[in-house]
Amino acid sequence: MSRSGVRRVTWRALRARRRALAGLGGWSLVESLPALLAGYLVARAVDEGFLAGRPLNGLAWLGVLAVAVLVGAAATGRTYRSLGAVVEPFRDEVAAQVVRGALGDATRAGGRPDSAAVTRLTHQMEIVRDTFAGLLMVTRGFLFSAGAALLGLLALAPVVAALAAVPLVAGLGVFLAALPAMVTHQRAYVRAGEQLGQSAATALAGHRDVLACGAQTRVTAEVARSVSAQATAERMLARMAAIRSLSLGLGGWLPLLVLMVAAPWLVERGLTAGAVLGALIYVSTGLQPALHTLVQGLGGGGLRYVVTLENILRTYPVSDDQRPPAPAERTPHRRPPTGPTGRSPTVEVRGLTFAYGPRARPVVRNFSLTLADRDHLAVVGPSGAGKSTLAALMAGLVAPQAGTVHLAGAPVAAVDPVGLARLRVLVPQEAYVFTGSLADNLRYLRPDADEHTLEVALDALGARPLAARLGGLGAPVTPALLSAGERQLVAAVRAWLAPAPLVLLDEATCHLDPALEATVEAAFARRPGSLVVIAHRISSALRADRVLVLDGDEPLLGTHAQLMARSTTYRMLVGCWDDPVVPARATSARPG
């Protein structure tokens, strides 16, 4: 995202809040009354009051100035209220885009969590909010304060306004000419800080591996390089301060010097002492502070705003239409072939290989499997055998090193997250329930479900007593007040209602009692589509059509009876579960 993108996003935010901006401008106009009247009123107080021997008249003019100051102070409080109406919604919009982008990157097929997202959402987001507010304040302050001071100078004498305006324009020119270099150095500083955060987080997260491999020196050197790069970038920013000081000297202090040197000449041309004093007041209390605020604001906060927002938008671009295209437009689905039984396959896994590192032992290797409509598969194995990993691969949450996964004929790797949500639903062990009504929780994956459909689902999965205890479908749900089993039951009903043809239950019923677990699994088995259960009890394997055993060697696929005859791992698991067994023959999972 270029600086033009930053301008576009900023301009869009300002246009969307024109009413709040109009209020900010109106109160800023009232706030600038002292800057507009100060020099003129002081000149009248001096010329028509104190120098004329009428001190009461002078005090009266100064009293008018005091009233103007009070009015301006009252307007200042109103400007901040108008400012919040512009800034806070803009901050919320950009923060929401960061969250959407980070979650999208982390959950898409082959995606990885962005370790810098937290920095963008917290530190960088606060920089954007504060500097955006600062830019609005310094810009409107310069326009109104400097404009009021120049109008006051013109009212006193046009020649005085010209003497003050020439060095002011020169100072602004120097500053604006140096802005591109300032932006470049500020960009380098922000990216160096982000790189330092990433390298430090990586080193800390992998400190055990670093110690085990003896790579302390190399990792320390890499982090030190990031520290040095950030220090260099910060020193360059400090050098830019000299240019800002030059601009302030030319535009802020030089007009004062010019007016003081030209004072005798101005008096000879008929300018009164009060007018000269008023001109000095306009420059010292109007033009000079306005320029100082503008240069410091743009040179500091403005640069941080442009570069930080540019960095955020470069990672998570904000488009004119945030709505993602429909899956059919992005991933055309082919007609799924039929399996040997004549039923369309819901899941086709071919040659799947996955490992958690380049030298790690693969969790699955060259694995193939086909599940047709109405197939019910249980996956068992010791802890760490890869059961949850296989579920994540089938759901498209993890990208394999080799092989393909097709859901309803669509390749998982080519389907966007919205499309994947329509093809499969994965229910983890730790079920998520959000604050809201019970109906809202159940409709999360099927928003169009009417109350009759929800009632049928509650009865099918044995959740009617829970709904009655909560107070019905419209009753509010407080997640903290639900037990782990109750949360699992709500998540199970939600998944049962989903239109996805594949359901994966990753120990999603482990907190239910055996009878309720049987009811839930039986309901899913009757549901159209395929069911994969990461088994928590032997009863789940006994209810399945087939059982897949993962134990780090060759995966075995078969019925409970077949696996008792062929799989030592399965017999050991059954012994731990302490259920009766029937010996028979097992088959390999490879043919699919």
Which 3-state string (H, E, C) describes 171-194? Answer: HHHHHHHHHHHHHHHHHHHHHHHH
pLDDT at 340: 38
pLDDT at 326: 37
Task: For the full predicted model, state whether its pTM sits above 0.75.
Answer: no
Query: What does each C-alpha distance from 157 to 43, 89, 269, 275 come to in angstroms?
Result: 12, 45, 11, 8
pLDDT at 183: 72
pLDDT at 465: 93
Q: Which portions of the chain are predicted below pLDDT 70?
A: 1-5, 98, 100-125, 190, 209, 212, 297-304, 307-308, 311, 313-345, 552-553, 576-592
**Mind listing the pLDDT tens digit for each residue in 52-85?**
788 888 888 888 888 888 887 888 777 777 777 7
Q: Round to whole Å and give the CA distance between 325 and 149.
A: 53
Q: Round to whole Å and give the CA distance between 350 and 519.
A: 32
What DSSP state is assigned to residue 123? I
Query: What does each C-alpha distance from 510 to 300, 482, 536, 591 come to in angstroms?
Result: 56, 15, 6, 31
**Mind listing the pLDDT tens digit for each residue in 487-515?**
999 999 999 999 889 999 988 888 888 89
Host H or E run for residue 532: strand 530-534
Q: CA triplet 310, 315, 317: central angle to 5 degrees?
A: 75
Residues whose CB falls within 8 Å of the CB of residue 574, separated by 6 or more in sequence, listed in order: 538, 564, 581
